[in-house]
Every structure is written in C-alpha cells, then in structure tokens.
Amino acid sequence: MPRKIVAANWKMNNDEYSSKKLTFDFLKYISESNNTKVLKILSVPFPFLNTVTKMCEGVDSVFVSAQNSSDYSEGAYTGEVSAKMLSSISVPFSLVGHSERREIFGESDDIVFAKTRLLLENNITPIFCCGEPINIRKDNTHLSFVEEQLNLSVFKLKSSEFKKIIIAYEPVWAIGTGETASENDISEMHRHIRSLIKSKYSSSLSNDISILYGGSLKPENAKQIFDIKNVDGGLIGGASLNAKDFIDIVNSIN
C-alpha cells in the first residue's frame, strides 16, 4: 500500500517570522487532530529549513523538505545548495523537477535526473514532480508527455532506487490558477503513471509508490480529489500558506 502523504510547498514565500508562525499554528492544529497515519511534509525555503526542522522535531509524522537542490555534488557553484549539505542538516525530503524549476529556470530532464541521483545518494527522498503544460493538454498528448518525463529521468533508476521516490503529478495549467484538473483528468493520469511503473518495474513496486496530485488543491476540493483511485495525497502550494486551510486539506484524506 502506498503511504498517504500531504505535502506543503511554500515556494518563495514567508520570512523567518511568518515561517515560524505558520509552523507553530500548523503544529497546534496537528496536536488537536492527532492524524498520524498521513505523512505531513513542509517544503520550506532553504533559510528556514533548520528552524522549521527544530520546531517539528519529535512530532509524529511531520517532516521537512527542501524545494530544490543542486545537480552538482560540490565545488565552485556559487549560490547552489547540494544534497550533501541538506543531508548534513538531516533534511529527509526534497522536491525535484517542479514545473517552476523546469519552466522558469530551464531545468532539463537530464538536470532533474542528476538532482534525483544526488538526493538518493545522500539518503534524501526525492519528491519527483511531473506534469504537462496547457498546449500539450490541448493537443491531447499529455499521457505520452508525462511518460517521456519519467523515461528521461526517474525511470533510469534501478528498482532498488526507484522504490524510494515519491511522485507528484502537477498539471502545469492547474498550478496557482484556481483551475483544478477534473476527476477524469486526474484519474486517467494517475492510472497511467501507475501502469507505467508496473510495466517498467513490477506490480508490487507500482502498488507501493505514492502518487500525489498538485494544482489548486484547497479545502473545498481536497476530499473529492483524495477519493480518486490511485491518488495517494497531494502537493499544495497557495493553500499551504494558511495553517487552517492546510490542516483541513490534511484532514480530508482517508
């Protein structure tokens, strides 16, 4: 059975004070809801990883994630943050291949793969993001587009490595737009990804990988989306910046 996971992605929002406040409020709600079967992950900006990690220490089923890491292991790469550095401060997860990294910062599949590799080598679980832009959806080639994203990166991993990753399907046109993918759209893609994992690796591996949905998830639509077959949780941007909204989304999962 895949693990149920709800992950926040704060993106480039919050300062130190608001990061602490958001984490504090979130942990207060968590202690009231006692929902330990769902893994909760907070993907926070680099400068606040240590602070938020310390605040979450000892809280059952709550973990911190980076939003990015370098495709180089170390050296003269000014401004980069390596997987080894993240590992040295005990960061257990990192997003990789988010569409904003791919589109705005030009990250190719090769770069996404190099990052994934380094994360795994440093015992950090990659949360691998994939998803199609609007023109691909309009052309009705979204299934093969996402298949290609997988083939050119995480499907190059051995099964012993692949089994450690989490997949997040985020249709680019649904990110931050208020436009959620329909139940059919989500169901079709999640089924497709699971069946690709089955053909590439094995049925048991495909049944164990968590596949999250991301894109305009909010308290109002979370339950409906989490109830879709093959959806094992969510990756939440905007709504994760409000502790009450985020916990309401966490509590919508069965």
Residues near ligand 13P (CB under 6 A): 9, 98, 170, 175-176, 214-217, 235-239
Please, what is the minimum distance in Å from the beta carbon of residue 100 to ligand 13P?
7
Give the HSE-up count for residue 188: Cα atoms under 13 Å, Cβ half-sphere: 14
| ∠ Cα 253 153 79 (to 5°) | 90
Cβ–Cβ under 8 Å, residues 203 and 243: no
* Residue nearest ligand 13P (C-beta atom): 237
In 3D, which of 91, 169, 75 has the Cα closest to residue 83? 91
At 99, list the tokens: 């569409």
Please, what is the minimum distance in Å from the beta carbon of residue 108 to ligand 13P?
19
Q: Which is nearer to ligand 13P, 214 or 233 (CB)?
A: 214
Please, what is the minimum distance in Å from the beta carbon of residue 73 to ligand 13P?
25
CB-count burial class (<10 Å; 0-12, 13-18, 19+) for 116? buried
Please, what is the minimum distance in Å from the beta carbon of residue 172 to ligand 13P?
9
Name the active-site residue from 98, 142, 190, 192: 98
Annotated active-site residue 190? The verdict is no
Amino acid, res. 191: R
In 3D, which of 126, 115, 214, 129 has the Cα closest to residue 163? 126
Please, what is the minimum distance in Å from the beta carbon of residue 51 to ligand 13P?
21
Q: Which is nearer to ligand 13P, 4 or 98 (CB)?
A: 98
Name the active-site residue from 107, 132, 170, 192: 170
Q: Which is nearer to ligand 13P, 126 or 215 (CB)?
A: 215
Annotated active-site residue 142? The verdict is no
Helix ranges, the chain (H): 16-33, 49-56, 83-88, 99-104, 109-121, 134-138, 142-151, 159-162, 183-200, 203-208, 219-226, 243-250
The whole-angstrom distance between residue 136's C-alpha and the CA centroid of its chain comes to: 22
Q: Which is nearer to ligand 13P, 23 or 68 (CB)?
A: 68
Active site residues: 98, 170
